[in-house]
Amino acid sequence: MSVATTQISVQGSEPVFHVIDEHDHPEGASTMLGFWIYLMSDCLIFAMLFATYGVLGGNYAAGPAPKDLFDLKLVALNTTMLLLSSITYGFAMLTMEKSKIGQTQLWLAITGLFGLAFLGIELTEFAHMIHEGATPQRSAFLSSFFTLVGTHGLHVTFGLVWLVTLMVQTARFGLTTANRRRLMCLSMFWHFLDVVWIGVFTFVYLLGMLR
Amino acid sequence: MTSNSHADAHTLEANAGGHGHDDHGGAAHGSLKSYLIGFGLSVVLTAIPFWLVMTGTIADKAVTALIVLVLAAVQIVVHMVYFLHMNTRSENGWTMMAMIFTVVMVVIALTGSLWVMHHLNINMMPMHDMSQMP
């Protein structure tokens, strides 16, 4: 601030409206903050979907209710998969900081397998529900259920695509600064999806069974 | 003034961080210990609500629902701190500011939607009854 004022007083005739001694930002310096803000906007999307489910979740249209559809054992298994994938990604980050490329790749692969298991179980559940006639068209409850849980599943799917992409990148170019930054972004994305899942299993499944 | 506050932030970080990284106001990192603590806590915080609902240990459903909600809120904070490394220092506090803003927006949107639609439902009831009348 003081610099700008000095500039004005020195030059006199031409006013300066910005601080000219802007320190240089190294490449990618603002990526993590920018990605965090993207995650926050994603958080708003999920908040809207939760609100929709909260409003419509009781409108069964004489169709099946949560108690008829949900299998808590399956949901518990699913939650375990996602939780385990979170900690294995954490291990991948720790080995990345030690620049152990082989171990990092191994932990990333394990994370991907847990993520794949999560998706498989979720798709099995969806297929089972649709087979029983509980399709998204059946009631407002099911429409909002499939939108909310499906959006989360879609995020996990894209997370897996991203994970595989980064594993290929790391295999080809090593743990470069750019690849480390990308892996850290995916780490935030992955842990963020786990946080959203806490909301899903609490509001949709557990409170649904209590209804 | 700008350079001074910058220098202060760096010294604060060096003092408070103390886990051998040069963050430079960037994103925070975790350690093996913090990941394991977070994992242990989240396993417990997931297992208890599932156990409560699956076994129906507490007869009163409202009490069970309240406990489940409180545990979920605690688990979200645990994940934020131990897995997403939320703190007031990373990115010079801007991640925290962005998150506080988001939480405010989410709370307004969620409570607002549920509150308004709940009252709408209540107010629609007499209309519904009247339509049943001959």
Look at residue A18 in the predicted model and tell me its pLDDT. Answer: 72
Whether the CB-CB separation of B118 and B124 falls below 8 Å is answered with: no
- Please judge whether B68 and A184 are an interchain contact, meaning their C-beta atoms are less than 8 angstroms apart: no
- Residues 30-89 of chain A with CB under 8 A from chain B are 32-33, 36-37, 40, 43-44, 47-48, 50-52, 54-55, 72-73, 75-76, 79-80, 83, 86-87
Q: Collect all residues of chain A within an 8 Å Cβ-Cβ radius of residue B91.
A: 32-33, 36
Q: Among A66, A53, A115, which residue's Cα sits nearest to residue A87?
A: A115
Where is pLDDT greater, at B72 or B92? B72
Where is pLDDT greater, at A173 or B120? A173
Confidence band for B127, pLDDT divided at 50, 70 and 90: low
How far is the C-alpha of B120 from the C-alpha of A60, rounded, in Å?
18
Q: What is the largest CA-CA distance in chain B?
A: 79
Mind listing the pLDDT tens digit for each residue in A109-164? 999 999 999 999 999 999 999 999 999 999 999 999 999 999 999 999 999 999 99
Mind listing the pLDDT tens digit for each residue in A182-208? 999 999 999 999 999 999 999 999 999
Query: What are the backbone dihedrals phi and psi of residue A71, each rounded to the nearest 5 degrees, phi first?
Result: -115, 105
Mind listing the pLDDT tens digit for each residue in B8-37? 444 434 434 334 344 444 556 788 999 999
Look at residue A94 in the predicted model and tell me its pLDDT. Answer: 95
pLDDT at B102 over 90: yes
How far is the C-alpha of A17 from the C-alpha of A5, rounded, in Å?
9
What is the pTM for the complete model shown?
A: 0.83
Mean pLDDT of chain A: 91
How far is the C-alpha of A49 from the C-alpha of A78, rounded, in Å?
20
| Residue among B1, B30, B84 whose CB faces A2 most closely | B1
| Residue among B2, B26, B68 whose CB faces A32 most closely | B26
pLDDT at A12 over 70: no
| Residue among B61, B64, B114 whose CB faces A55 most closely | B114
| A25, A30, A32, A33: CA torsion to nearest 10 | 140
Q: How far is A14 from chain B (nearest CA, A)?
A: 23
Could you tell me how many residues make up chain A?
Answer: 211
